[in-house]
């Protein structure tokens, strides 16, 4: 290792990458982060579409590593908007002096591990100048995010479109004014459902092109009640600790102890109604203990929400089209909305079913489905991401022994704890596939991963070791455990991004760990306590 080499290179300066800089610097490692964007914040830097806000409450969706920080910071609303969260992330970067350790506008194109030297060489490209150079580091941490590779369907003719088109995950920083425009919006996942009410307010007419109806619950956003904030802050330290003993990494939701099927229908609906009024997804899924494991139990919740849609949406045909019927509720990310179904009653909004008549091509002045053509001045793609594996596979990561991530993951990701990959020494992931990341309070999971990784690097340093990687058998056992846990639930029944179903040709494998943050953390802690059991180390 030369004096120029880093101890740790971090790829990505979102919430995970920034915390990695904080922890690693505190432990005395030479660390530098590389970020493709022109600013910090990862997902909150890119996703600036109208209505973008987090679906986890802001008092939860924040760092826990500094009690001063969590006491000082004031969240103005129950759920943080994108600008509010981005401001918070930038505040954290300044408060803890993280900014000088990040190279912005720097995309990592490739990484190669040199087995002899035990070093990673990363090829960086400056996005403004195109300059390419290489950086060497003993360890590499991929904090590249799970929903950071936006995907636009490759419809023929997009290049001929005379209006402007946008992807929700790559939104222009100056915003977009849809006033007086005929807008087409494709996709009704979280991004589509959050943006539709705001786009509809401006547009002359909004056509929403829906392939699959999704379940959406009211967020019930509101200005932060002072009393709630002070109560939460008084309990913060305990709540954060307790969060690690819960499945979703959020304390304060007592686990249900009854099946939906052992409760009379009237009482069941009263419980769902109370949760519907309260707002939030965990609370709703915690109505009963078997909603995610028993199809009949789940169907009671599905029908409750479908009836809400039927009561809200005045045109019965549109209401039926909005009623999800191809997946159990909760098996795709539950959406939280503000006035989504109400917006479908507006005269200037038309819902188009592109399941029965798919979009065939983009025309210079709109688009054509199997059934009709639509004249449009602007198109919004709310079509999602190559989730969980996309960002890792975009980088050409390989070793000099011939292993390549793209090849290893050709049939789906294989990881140990979602943190490391057999055959790729000294390469770590923050909330990688087969970790609970996307099924948890993401910032808590980022902190837990970074803490585990930093402890591991401290352990190696103290023992005079320079190399670590998982054993093949430990990785296979973890992959198998993941599949077993997923298959004991209803999750795999949905064609979601959790299984890669939104990307044509992507192998279908259930990617997040759904055994819960609590079980997962216990496993991670046990591995470390047993001297990194299942991992091979070398000097
Ligand atoms: O993406 P999605 P997203 N023709 O993949 C449709 C997080 N997030 O950006 O279901 C027509 O969920 C696709 O249809 P189908 C959150 O975890 C959080 O909305 O594949 N339609 C679907 O309707 C979320 O789950 C927040 O049939 C096409 C939509 O596009 C995740 O990010 C906010 C199509 C994509 O939905 C992703 O959400 C936003 C095609 N060719 C996002 N291709 C909050 O915190 C795709 N679609 C609130």
The full 3-state SS of 401-451, as one line of letters, equals: CCCEHHHHCCCCCCCECCCECCCCCCEEECCCCCCCHHHCCHHHHHHHHHH
What are the Cα distances from residue 195, in Å, to 61, 213, 347, 436? 21, 16, 17, 27
Q: The pTM is what?
A: 0.97
Index of the ligand 1 atom closest to the CA of residue 169: 9
Task: Compute, in angstroms, the gap from residue 495 CA to the centroid of ligand 1.
Answer: 11
Task: Compute, in angstroms, the gap from residue 373 CA to the centroid of ligand 1.
Answer: 23
DSSP 497: G
Q: Could you tell which of 50, 191, 362, 431 is best to mutate to test the pocket of ligand 1, judged by most ligand atoms within 8 Å of the CB?
A: 191
Rounded distance between C-alpha atoms, residue 429 and residue 57, angstroms: 25
Index of the ligand 1 atom closest to the CA of residue 354: 11
- Confirm if 127 and 115 have CB atoms less than 8 A apart: no
Look at ligand 1, atom 15, and give the residue with the nearest C-alpha: 212
Task: Compute, in angstroms, the gap from residue 188 CA to the centroid of ligand 1.
Answer: 6
Task: Compute, in angstroms, the gap from residue 54 CA to the centroid of ligand 1.
Answer: 14
Rounded distance between C-alpha atoms, residue 50 and residue 481, angstroms: 39
Index of the ligand 1 atom closest to the CA of residue 333: 25
Query: pLDDT digit of tens for each residue in the chain (539 aa)?
Result: 777 899 999 999 999 999 999 999 999 999 999 999 999 999 999 999 999 999 999 999 999 999 999 999 999 999 999 999 999 999 999 999 999 999 999 999 999 999 999 999 999 999 999 999 999 999 999 999 999 999 999 999 999 999 999 999 999 999 999 999 999 999 999 999 999 999 999 999 999 999 999 999 999 999 999 999 999 999 999 999 999 999 999 999 999 999 999 999 999 999 999 999 999 999 999 999 999 999 999 999 999 999 999 999 999 999 999 999 999 999 999 999 999 999 999 999 999 999 999 999 999 999 999 999 999 999 999 999 999 999 999 999 999 999 999 999 999 999 999 999 999 999 999 999 999 999 999 999 999 999 999 999 999 999 999 999 999 999 999 999 999 999 999 999 999 999 999 999 999 999 999 999 999 999 999 999 999 999 999 98
Rounded distance between C-alpha atoms, residue 493 and residue 213, angstroms: 15
Q: Could you tell which of 154, 157, 187, 354 is best to mutate to test the pocket of ligand 1, judged by most ligand atoms within 8 Å of the CB?
A: 187
Concatenated DSSP letters of 238-295: HHHHHHTTSSSS--S-PPP-S-GGGS-HHHHHHHHHHHHHH--HHHHHTTSTTTTT-H
Residues β-bridged to residue 119: 114
Residues β-bridged to residue 207: 184, 350
- Look at strands 359-363 and 216-218 and give their pairing: unpaired
Task: Compute, in angstroms, the gap from residue 471 CA to the centroid of ligand 1.
Answer: 35
Index of the ligand 1 atom closest to the CA of residue 155: 41
- Confirm if 232 and 250 have CB atoms less than 8 A apart: no
Q: Which residues contact 302 (CB under 8 A, 6 or more apart)?
A: 215, 324, 328, 329
What b/e sequence results for 234-263 when a residue is b if at least 16 CB atoms lie within 10 Å of its CB, and e otherwise?
A: eebeebbeebbebbbbbbeeeeeeebbeeb
Enter the tokens of residue 81: 């908007």
Task: Compute, in angstroms, the gap from residue 511 CA to the centroid of ligand 1.
Answer: 16
Rounded distance between C-alpha atoms, residue 375 and residue 183, angstroms: 9
Rounded distance between C-alpha atoms, residue 90 and residue 76, angstroms: 16
The residues lining ligand 1, judged by C-beta closer than 6 Å to any ligand atom, are: 54-55, 147, 153, 168, 186-192, 194, 211-212, 333, 336, 354, 359, 382-385, 497, 502
Coil, helix or strand for 383? coil
Index of the ligand 1 atom closest to the CA of residue 335: 48
Rounded distance between C-alpha atoms, residue 147 and residue 43, angstroms: 7
Alpha helix positions (H), 154-249:
190-202, 226-234, 236-243
pLDDT computed for residue 469 by the predictor: 98
Q: Which residues contact 445 (CB under 8 A, 6 or more apart)?
A: 249, 431, 435, 436, 437, 517
Q: Single out the residue of 248, 232, 241, 259 nearest to residue 283, CA to CA.
A: 248
Index of the ligand 1 atom closest to the CA of residue 497: 5
Q: Could you tell which of 185, 190, 281, 445 is best to mutate to test the pocket of ligand 1, judged by most ligand atoms within 8 Å of the CB?
A: 190
Start-to-end CA span in the chain (Å): 13
User: CA torsion sign, 350 to 356 to 361 to 363?
Assistant: negative
- Confirm if 11 and 20 have CB atoms less than 8 A apart: no
Q: Which residue do the tokens 């009393």 mark?
A: 227
Question: For residue 363, what is the enclosing H or E element?
Answer: strand 359-363
Coil, helix or strand for 115? coil
pLDDT computed for residue 105 by the predictor: 98
pLDDT computed for residue 1 by the predictor: 75
Index of the ligand 1 atom closest to the CA of residue 384: 1
């Amino acid at each position: 290792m030369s004096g120029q080499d880093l101890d740790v290179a971090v790829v990505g300066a979102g919430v995970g990458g920034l915390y990695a800089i904080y922890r690693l610097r505190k432990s005395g490692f030479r660390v530098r982060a590389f970020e493709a964007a022109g600013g910090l914040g990862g997902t909150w830097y890119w996703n600036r579409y109208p209505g973008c806000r987090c679906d986890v409450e802001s008092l939860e969706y924040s760092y826990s590593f500094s009690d001063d920080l969590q006491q000082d910071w004031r969240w103005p609303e129950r759920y943080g908007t994108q600008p509010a969260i981005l401001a918070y992330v930038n505040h954290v970067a300044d408060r803890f002096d993280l900014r000088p350790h990040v190279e912005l506008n720097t995309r990592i194109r490739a990484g190669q591990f040199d087995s002899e030297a035990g070093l990673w060489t990363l090829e960086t490209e400056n996005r403004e100048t195109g300059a390419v150079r290489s950086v060497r580091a003993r360890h590499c941490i991929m904090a590249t995010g799970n929903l950071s590779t936006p995907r636009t369907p490759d419809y023929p003719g997009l290049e001929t479109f005379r209006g402007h088109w946008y992807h929700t995950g790559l939104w222009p920083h100056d915003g977009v004014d849809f006033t007086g425009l005929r807008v087409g919006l494709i996709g009704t996942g979280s991004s589509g459902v959050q943006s539709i009410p705001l786009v509809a307010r401006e547009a002359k007419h909004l056509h929403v092109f829906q392939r699959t109806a999704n379940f959406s619950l009211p967020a019930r956003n509101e200005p932060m009640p002072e009393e709630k904030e002070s109560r939460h802050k008084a309990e913060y330290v305990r709540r954060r600790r307790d969060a690690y003993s819960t499945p979703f990494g959020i304390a304060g939701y007592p686990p249900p102890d009854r099946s939906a099927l052992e409760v009379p229908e009237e009482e069941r609906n009263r419980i769902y109604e109370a949760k519907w009024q309260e707002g939030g997804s965990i609370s709703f899924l915690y109505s009963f203990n078997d909603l995610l494991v028993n199809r009949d139990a789940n169907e009671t919740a599905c029908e409750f929400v479908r009836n809400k849609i039927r009561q809200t949406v005045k045109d019965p045909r549109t209401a039926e089209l909005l009623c999800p019927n191809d997946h159990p509720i909760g098996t795709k990310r539950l959406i939280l909305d503000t006035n989504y179904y109400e917006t479908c009653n507006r005269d200037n909004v038309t819902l188009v079913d592109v399941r029965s008549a798919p979009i065939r091509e983009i025309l210079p002045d709109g688009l054509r489905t199997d059934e009709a053509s639509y004249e449009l001045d602007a198109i919004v793609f709310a079509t999602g991401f190559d989730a969980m594996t996309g960002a890792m596979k975009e980088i050409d990561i390989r070793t000099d022994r011939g292993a390549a991530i793209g090849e290893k993951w050709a049939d789906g990701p294989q990881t140990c704890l979602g943190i490391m990959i057999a055959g790729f020494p000294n390469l770590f992931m923050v909330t990688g596939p087969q970790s609970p990341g996307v099924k948890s309070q993401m910032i808590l999971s980022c902190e837990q991963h970074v803490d585990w990784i930093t402890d591991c690097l401290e352990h190696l340093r103290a023992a005079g070791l320079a190399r670590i990687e998982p054993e093949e058998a430990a990785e296979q056992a973890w992959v198998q455990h993941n599949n077993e846990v997923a298959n004991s639930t209803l999750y795999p029944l949905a064609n979601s991004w959790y299984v890669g179903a939104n990307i044509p040709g992507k192998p279908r494998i259930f990617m997040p760990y759904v055994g819960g943050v609590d079980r997962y953390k216990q496993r991670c802690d046990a591995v470390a306590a047993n001297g990194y059991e299942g991992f091979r180390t070398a000097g």
